[in-house]
Amino acid sequence: MREIIRFAWGISSLGDFVVAMSEKGIVALEFSSMHTAMEDALRIRFPEAELERSLEELANVMEIVVGVIDDPATDCELPLDLRGTPYEVQVWMMLRDIPVGQTTNYGALAAKLGSRDPRDVTAAIANNPIAVIVPCHRVIKKDGSISGYRWGVRRKRLLLAREQRATER
């Protein structure tokens, strides 16, 4: 029996997004206004799965995700189904340990992993398929400047600013 991955599109203050879920949890949360291209990308990423558009079944999840996007300081208890190499999953789990309103840099993460090459960490972060909930936006350059973000530097700046405001309350 083929795995079923349900997905739905939503609209947030940072633009259109798609959430895809397996039976275990979220496998993707990505910003995109190109619905067809993103759905094709999901089919390529999960070639053995049957993808089903399921807005009604994911309505509660979508509501929670919109809340987390609007206020990334909100605790998100949604289950995740992290799929990547063991190294990528390790990096993604480390990202979840970065406190709200704080940032780290690629080199610091690499050092925690026992590596001196931050490029490996950068590559793992670039492959993160779960925006905001796996907070790769909290990783910045060593000099404190904001570097690239899979879903746009503008979104990264907004997420960091929202977290900063939330911690100042």
Residue pLDDT, tens place only, 43-61: 999 999 999 999 999 999 9
Check residue 80 and give its pLDDT.
Answer: 98
Residue 76 among the catalytic residues: no
Check residue 137 and give its pLDDT.
Answer: 96
List of residues 6+ apart from 151 with CB closer than 8 A = 14, 30, 31, 32, 131
Check residue 1 and give its pLDDT.
Answer: 79
Instruction: Say which amino acid occupies 160.
Output: L
Check residue 116 and give its pLDDT.
Answer: 74
Catalytic-role residue among 42, 136, 139, 159: 136
Question: Which residues in the chain show pLDDT less than 70?
Answer: none
CATH number for 4-70 (one of 3.30.160.70, 3.30.479.30, 3.40.50.2020, 3.30.1300.10): it is 3.30.160.70
The segment(s) of the chain belonging to CATH 1.10.10.10 are 86-168
Check residue 168 and give its pLDDT.
Answer: 81
Q: Are 148 and 98 in contact (CB under 8 A)?
A: no
CATH 3.20.20.20 is the classification of domain 86-168: no
**Helices then strands (H, E): number in the chain?**
6, 6
